[in-house]
């Protein structure tokens, strides 16, 4: 099984149809960049998911304060904002959220607010709300997030641009890891509860199939055939969604279930201390490579 490398810096995120809300002015801080940056105020950014929060923090450095839309341990797919939390989040200068309604709480922040002017980020080449699971889409998002931050805080633009360039290089390295590792896999089918892995699959040469929460017997049988013909095929569970369908497929196919985190938000109790987008993605890659029978001992 592949041993995940230890990466301490994290990477970016925006989404197809990512919604960005900007308002207000900022605070103060200092950096080692030009004086225009050193005197720039601190940008307050509300982040819709964990990968987005990590990206914003790494792009902004000391010139950003990140506020998570969904509290750690709460279900990001169902969490509803309290009135006090909505007020806090509306006080941010920028909202960066995945599209397609993946995190409903993020979409509700600007409703009824006259203080925010809505901006819509350019669409990515995919409308996948789990875009960060495909490092190539994540890389496209680095620039989108940085540009949105530069628009909200022009004085800090040199810092944001410099950090975004560094983040992009690390995401490219992650992309290389995925491409090199998954190309060695004999297995080519991954069954999961939803289509979270569809963009990743298209990019790295395997097929993602969706079981849904309650597949009927013909659907289960078709997925079981796909898993067996893949030899090996993988059946995976993920957090925050119903995995009943995936479990049914694994039971009938007599295969082991593998757990893959989609990284939308920390589970109850949180991730291990110091977990980053990169470390968690490498962990997912190790799980996938093992489930699909990859030979990665030399990597």
pLDDT at 185: 94
3-state secondary structure 37-48: HHCCCCEEEEEC
Confidence (pLDDT) at 102: 84
Global pTM reads 0.85
pLDDT at 129: 83
Q: Helices 157-182 and 135-152: crossing angle, nearest 10°? A: 170
Fold of the domain built from segment(s) 181-291: Rossmann fold (3.40.50)
Four-way CATH pick for 19-173: 3.40.50.1980, 3.30.2010.10, 1.10.274.30, 3.40.50.300: 3.40.50.1980
Q: What is the pLDDT along the chain (299 residues), one digit of tens a residue?
A: 444 443 333 333 333 334 444 443 333 344 456 777 887 889 999 998 999 999 999 999 999 999 999 998 899 999 999 989 988 888 888 888 887 678 889 878 865 444 444 343 444 445 678 999 999 999 988 898 999 999 999 999 999 999 999 999 999 999 999 999 999 899 999 999 999 999 999 999 999 999 999 999 999 999 999 999 998 999 999 999 999 999 999 999 999 999 999 999 988 888 888 899 999 999 999 999 999 998 654 44
Domain with CATH 3.40.50.1980 in the chain: 19-173, 181-291
Query: For 293, left (φ over 0), alpha (ψ -120 to 50), or beta?
Result: left
Closest CA to 17 of 107, 147, 110: 107
Euclidean distance between CA atoms 140 and 14, whole angstroms: 8
Question: 126: which 2 tokens?
Answer: 């995919």
Helix/strand/coil for 163: helix
């Amino acid at each position: 099984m592949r041993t995940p490398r230890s990466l301490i810096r994290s990477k970016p995120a925006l989404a197809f149809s990512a919604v960005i809300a900007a308002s207000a002015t900022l605070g103060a801080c200092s950096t080692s960049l030009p004086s225009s940056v050193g005197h720039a105020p601190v940008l307050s950014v509300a982040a819709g998911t964990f990968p987005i929060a990590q990206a914003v923090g790494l792009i902004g450095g000391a010139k950003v304060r990140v506020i998570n839309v969904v509290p750690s341990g709460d279900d990001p797919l169902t969490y509803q904002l309290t009135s006090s939390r909505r007020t806090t989040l509306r006080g941010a200068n920028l909202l960066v959220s995945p599209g397609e309604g993946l995190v409903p709480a993020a979409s509700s922040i600007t409703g009824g607010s006259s203080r925010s002017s809505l901006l819509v980020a350019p669409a990515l080449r995919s409308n996948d709300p789990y875009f960060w699971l495909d490092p190539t889409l994540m890389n496209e998002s680095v620039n989108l997030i940085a540009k949105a931050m530069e628009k909200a805080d022009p004085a800090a633009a040199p810092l944001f641009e410099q950090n975004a360039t560094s983040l992009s290089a690390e995401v490219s390295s992650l992309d290389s890891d995925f491409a090199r590792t998954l190309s060695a896999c004999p297995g080519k089918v991954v069954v999961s509860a939803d289509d979270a892995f569809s963009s990743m699959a298209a990019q790295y040469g395997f097929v993602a199939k969706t079981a849904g929460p309650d597949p009927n017997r013909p659907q289960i049988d078709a997925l079981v055939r796909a898993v067996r013909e893949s030899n090996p095929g993988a059946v995976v569970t993920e957090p925050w969604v119903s995995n009943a369908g995936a479990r049914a497929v694994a039971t009938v196919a007599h295969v082991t279930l593998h757990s893959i985190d989609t990284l939308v938000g920390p589970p109850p109790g949180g991730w291990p201390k110091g977990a980053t987008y990169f470390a968690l993605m490498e962990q997912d890659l190790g799980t996938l490579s093992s489930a699909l029978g990859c030979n990665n001992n030399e990597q």
